[in-house]
Amino acid sequence: MELIQQLVNGISLGSIYALIALGYTMVYGIVRLINFAHGDVFMIGSFVGFYAVTSFHVGFFPALLLAMVSCAILGVCIERIAYKPLRNATRIAVLITAIGVSLLIEYGTIYLRGAQPEAYPSTVLPDKKIEVLGVTVNSQSLLILGVSIVLMILLQFIVHKTKIGKAMRAVSHDAEAARLMGINVDNTISATFAIGSALAGAAGVIFGIYYTKIDPLMGIIPGLKAFVAAVLGGIGIIPGAMVGGLMLGVIESLVSGLGYSLWRDGVAFIILILILIFRPAGLFGKNVREKV
């Protein structure tokens, strides 16, 4: 029964990693960029949700929606201001810019509101214990998992059934050919950043409710772990990011359940090293030759 309990906890945590990882993998799939500022967009989403709940006294779903819209706008601004001018620059220049944007968001937030942590009110979501077949499940965990699954299904619908989704897939496959076919590549890239950032914002609110405490540097470790999840599933592959996030969350919970909670952060990076050594393309990826 303890094992099942840890699996439930792991899936809830993994769904948060999966939502963040989707942003990494979508952006990489389109522009071959690792957006290291993505974890900080997640942090901003968490604070937007917190202030929506505490200052405007709205419920969970309006706070979630507000955080997603705010982060989508922030994602587009980051892309247009920081990354668009470097579209044809070297990868190292873009990577350094991404790290710079990350630090700017973190310390800009500290400058504006201070470094003190905040705590989400415990009344945002009902916290009831539900017993199923001898396993006690938190109602918050179930709702968080349900919201995460709905968002992932919505993303799959957008990517496979809508016009912007088809444009995103075309640009991912061949940006120049997509441009020749009349697709606005710049707008498609901005839309990708908007959707990925909105999912990170949703993950921020869910994380705040699940773990209560938030602070301006909270995006660093979850952001890095979500990157590990994206690599684990196969960076650039959307289903891979979902599976990678869920797997990472379950592995972390099992490690904690076995009494090695101090190792839970280290395990994520051990997995990254092993994946890069034995299967660099990830679980869902295929090895392709790349001319340098």
pTM given for the model: 0.92
In a domain, 252, yes or no: no
Scanning the structure block, which residue is given the tokens 């498609």? Answer: 188
User: Which residue segment(s) compose the domain that 49 sits in?
Assistant: 22-217
Q: Is residue 6 part of a domain?
A: no
pLDDT recorded at residue 286: 67
Which of the pair, 4 or 155, is modelled with greater confidence?
A: 155
Q: For 17-61, what is each residue's pLDDT tens digit?
A: 999 999 999 999 998 898 999 999 999 999 999 999 999 999 999
pLDDT tens digits along 82-117: 999 998 889 899 999 999 999 999 999 999 999 999
* Across 82-96, 135-149, 278-292, least confident range: 278-292
Domain membership flag for residue 9: no
Q: Which residues contact 146 (CB under 8 A, 6 or more apart)?
A: none
Query: Burial code of 79-111, b = ≥16 C-beta within 10 A, e = fewer?
Result: beebbeeeeeeeeeebeebbeebbeebbeebee
Structural domain count, the chain: 1
* Assigned domain for 229 exists: no
Burial 186-222 (b: 16+ CB within 10 A, else e): eebbbbbbbbbbbbbbbbbbbbbbbeeebbbebbbeb
Does residue 142 lie in a domain region?
A: yes
pLDDT in tens, 143-162: 888 999 999 999 999 999 99
Task: Give the model confidence (pLDDT) of 70-84 as tens digits.
Answer: 999 999 999 999 999
Assigned domain for 96 exists: yes
